[in-house]
Amino acid sequence: MQHAKPISDLVVQRWKDAGAVFGWQDQWGYYSDERSEDDDLPAFLFDNNWHREELCDLPDAGIAFRT
């Protein structure tokens, strides 16, 4: 299994400031607030009130993640 690369705390904070909730998604697509396996991917969740324009100014995470 491939280990997920670390994600910058600054990137996570900027995405949270835009309304995202940060957590982890496992290989089956289940989301959790805590990482349970080394191959879990970082994940950002948004509620139904997000706006596409808000995402344009967010920094690139530099790694694969799920939304």
Helix, strand, coil share of the chain (percent; to 5): 20, 20, 60
In angstroms, the CA 57 to CA 5 distance is 22
The answer to pTM > 0.85 is no
Residue pair 30/44 in contact (Cβ under 8 Å)? The answer is no
The per-residue pLDDT for range 3-35, each reduced to its tens digit, is 667 788 999 999 898 888 999 998 898 989 888
Domains in the chain: boundaries: 9-55
Asked whether the predicted pLDDT for residue 1 surpasses 60, the reply is no
Strand partners, 42: 24
Q: Look-up: residue for tokens 């706006």?
A: 51
